[in-house]
């Protein structure tokens, strides 16, 4: 929850309004953080283990964790394109922007599936890096789309 609050608070601070818009932004960041942090937990598994921390949902680098990463990635993609359907109040997304965000999500999903298939530290590191690019570009697309419509 703490990682998803900044999106929400940014909207509330800019608009002085709390509604579905900041909730949607919160949900996007909330679902995104699981594939991101579980990828980190995967490739730093031994370091966390030495410290007595088990950061993965199953506690180990297994298919169960990889499946959960894929599922949260899918939720992230779905939440990211919801604004194109007009259900999110003043938070709108054009069809072109939604297509761009969807393609970005498919790239993220590709790397999540690669982790499932390969089960390697390298695949987890790649997923983590792609997840950072994903959330950065999604935010950029959301902002640019608001000003070019």
pLDDT in tens, 86-123: 999 999 999 999 999 999 999 999 999 999 999 999 99
Query: For residue 113, what is the DSSP state?
Result: H
**pTM score over 0.85:** yes
Q: Are 69 and 35 in contact (CB under 8 A)?
A: yes
- pLDDT in the model for residue 149: 67
Dist CA 93 CA 146 (whole Å): 7
Q: Kindly calculate the radius of gyration of the chain based on its CA atoms and give it in whole angstroms.
A: 16
Q: What is the mean pLDDT of residues 46-71?
A: 95
Q: What's the mean per-residue pLDDT of the chain?
A: 94
Dist CA 46 CA 51 (whole Å): 9
- pLDDT in the model for residue 2: 77
Of 95, 89, 74, the C-alpha closest to 11 is 89
Q: Are 42 and 61 in contact (CB under 8 A)?
A: yes
- Report whether pLDDT(10) > 90: no
Give the rounded percent of residues in the chain with a pLDDT score beyond 90. 85
């Amino acid at each position: 929850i703490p990682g998803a609050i900044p999106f929400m608070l940014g909207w509330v601070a800019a608009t002085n309004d709390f509604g579905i818009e900041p909730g949607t932004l919160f949900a996007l960041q909330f679902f995104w953080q699981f594939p991101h942090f579980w990828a980190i937990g995967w490739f730093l598994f031994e370091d966390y283990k030495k410290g007595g921390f088990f950061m993965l949902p199953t506690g180990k680098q297994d298919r169960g964790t990889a499946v959960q990463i894929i599922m949260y990635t899918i939720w992230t993609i779905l939440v990211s394109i919801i604004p194109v359907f007009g259900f999110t109040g003043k938070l709108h997304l054009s069809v072109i922007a939604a297509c761009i965000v969807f393609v970005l999500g498919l790239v993220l999903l590709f790397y999540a599936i690669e982790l499932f298939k390969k089960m390697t530290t390298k695949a987890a590191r790649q997923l983590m890096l792609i997840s950072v690019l994903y959330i950065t570009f999604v935010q950029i697309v959301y902002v640019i789309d608001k000003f070019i419509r």
